[in-house]
Chains A and B, each alone.
Chain A
Amino acid sequence: NAGVMQNPRHLVRRRGQEARLRCSPMKGHSHVYWYRQLPEEGLKFMVYLQKENIIDESGMPKERFSAEFPKEGPSILRIQQVVRGDSAAYFCASSLLGQSSGNTIYFGEGSWLTVV
């Protein structure tokens, strides 16, 4: 039973390029969350998605960032025109029915983005 799978694990982009991070939730999980961890900081909530729906994107910057979780395929976090301040670890997490149903949330191993 594979866990939450994220790829790429490490990504280097030049300023102005696009970064695309993928997350495959645990089998059967339909709730996906993205968190960002800046150096020396805790994880910060970015966005909460269910299949084909964005439930809450209040933690995501209004510009350059977007997320989707299509009916088929992984969830994608897309960062356009990256800047140095986007360098961080991006963690995806999933749960079966959402934590409010008492389900545990499981984290992937993260995607480390470095902008040069």
Chain B
Amino acid sequence: EDKVVQSPLSLVVHEGDTVTLNCSYEVTNFRSLLWYKQEKKAPTFLFMLTSSGIEKKSGRLSSILDKKELFSILNITATQTGDSAIYLCAVHITQGGSEKLVFGKGMKLTVNP
């Protein structure tokens, strides 16, 4: 069965801290790994990773994929209260003529002032 596991499931930090979110996966027919941020509404796209070892950056956020060890990390530096959200890791897989995202349970980040 395809599965995606995120850790930790929740984290409370202070503004300015750096956090690392982990995502491991076991799937067949891997196409890409995606990170989303969810704040009580639509998951908003952060990164899509397809190749190992290539870091993607967007401001204070960065992410990297290891296809050999089957995991990805999402780093957030100098956290702000606005970073408080649920961070979702998802793996895009194909099955026959179909395709879907397999999600982890999400990691709830709380950034306190």
Contact = CB atoms under 8 A, between A and B. Distances in A.
Interface of A: 3-4, 33, 35, 40-45, 48, 55-56, 58-59, 91, 98-100, 104-110
The residue in B6, B44, B99 that gathers the most chain A C-beta atoms within 10 A of its C-beta is B99
A59 B88 contact: no
Nearest to B94: A100
B98 A56 contact: yes
Interface string B43-58: 1110010000000000
Interface stretch (B59-67, B68-76, B77-85, B102-110): B102-110
Nearest to B32: A99
Given A42-B103, A43-B101, A44-B103, 12 more contacts: A35-B101, A35-B103, A40-B105, A41-B105, A45-B100, A56-B98, A99-B101, A100-B94, A104-B45, A104-B48, A105-B101, A108-B42
Contact of B92 (A41, A91, A99): A99
B113 interface: no
Contacts of A99: 31-32, 92, 99, 101
Secondary structure dominating the interface of B: strand
Given A107-B43, A109-B42, A43 B103 contact: yes
5 contacts: A35-B103, A42-B103, A43-B88, A56-B99, A100-B94
Contacts, number: 62
Interface in B2-29: 4, 6
Contact of A98 (B99, B101, B104): B99
Nearest to B48: A104
Nearest to A9: B41
A104 B96 CA distance: 20
